Amino acid sequence: MFYADTLSSKKYPPAAPRGCFFIGKCQEPYRQLPGPRRACLLAWHTLSTEPVGVRKFMSNVLFPKIKGLAWDVVIDPTFSTEIQESLGGREVRIQNFQNPLWEFTLHYEYLLNDPRFRDESEQTPLETLVGFFLARGGQFDDFLLNLTDLTGRLEDSVYSGQPIGAGDGNTKSFQLVRNFGGFPEAVQNPMNQSATVYVNGVAKVQGTDFTIANGLVTFTSAPAVGAAITADFVMLYRVRFHTGTSRSGKEGIELTNFYYNCMSARKYR
């Protein structure tokens, strides 16, 4: 599961059945499938300020495409709302998130650990996934997720002609956004921090006419009044692993050899 909510009040589900690969917590019921595995992560739009010396940069490594991923990829947009109710029944509500935090739940039918099926990096599917988790230090390091790699749909990450603003003669900076069913959602992680930006239909040159940082397009010269500004880009999600469980109660992973050359990992924390 990829999670967008870093402070979740939801309870952990019961212990996963034999052969369940779990990175974090999952919301849907577990299914008895041969060697099923679940992966859980968190996605967000902004990062909180961290103490100096703890982590000074964000990782731009992509979550790997791994054989064995089932079709049931669960995607949940989440918000955080403070609700206070008076004695008379009236409510005062405060919206904490301007943009949703996304939760992604992955279900792996199997993860082979057969040395005959190593990829071009000389890794088995199990070694690739577990090695990726270890390299991230569990929840410590974040990384990028291309939703198209999970669903196979280009429309889940490739966006064209997205309106991002209109010129007023003074404003130089415009945030990349995607129009999702009429909701303009901020995009902070376009692939390689790049996009094709148009002003009144004329493509501009990145690095000369504009720059991009955290999805924020900054022009060298402010677009003219009324100029329509659009962009083409590939949207990535910045995510981290959610918690799992180990027998020690610490953040970790418990692996079980449930079949020849097939491993299971009940939970990650």
Spell out the domain ranges in the chain.
2-153+238-268, 158-235
Q: Are strands 253-259 and 196-199 parallel, antiparallel or unpaired?
A: unpaired
Give the tokens for residue 251: 């953040």
Q: How far apart are CA 85 and CA 48, in angstroms?
A: 29
Q: How far apart are CA 250 and CA 51, in angstroms?
A: 22
pLDDT score at 243? 62
Q: Are strands 173-175 and 216-219 parallel, antiparallel or unpaired?
A: antiparallel
pLDDT score at 65? 86
pLDDT tens-place values along the chain, 269 residues long: 444 433 333 333 333 333 333 333 333 333 333 344 445 555 654 444 444 445 556 788 999 988 777 677 888 899 999 999 999 999 999 999 999 999 887 777 777 777 776 766 777 888 888 888 888 888 888 999 999 998 889 999 999 999 999 999 999 999 999 999 999 999 999 999 999 999 999 999 999 999 999 999 999 999 999 999 999 999 999 998 876 555 555 665 556 555 555 554 443 33
DSSP state of 12: P
Cross-strand pairs, 105: 74
pLDDT score at 226? 96
- In the three-class reduction of DSSP (H, G, I as helix; E, B as strand; rest coil), residue 72 is classed as coil
pLDDT score at 209? 97
For residues 116 and 14, is the Cβ–Cβ distance under 8 A? no
| 253 φψ region: left (φ > 0), alpha (ψ -120 to 50), beta (else) | beta
pLDDT score at 70? 66
pTM of the model: 0.72
Q: How far apart are CA 240 and CA 1, in angstroms?
A: 10
pLDDT score at 139? 83
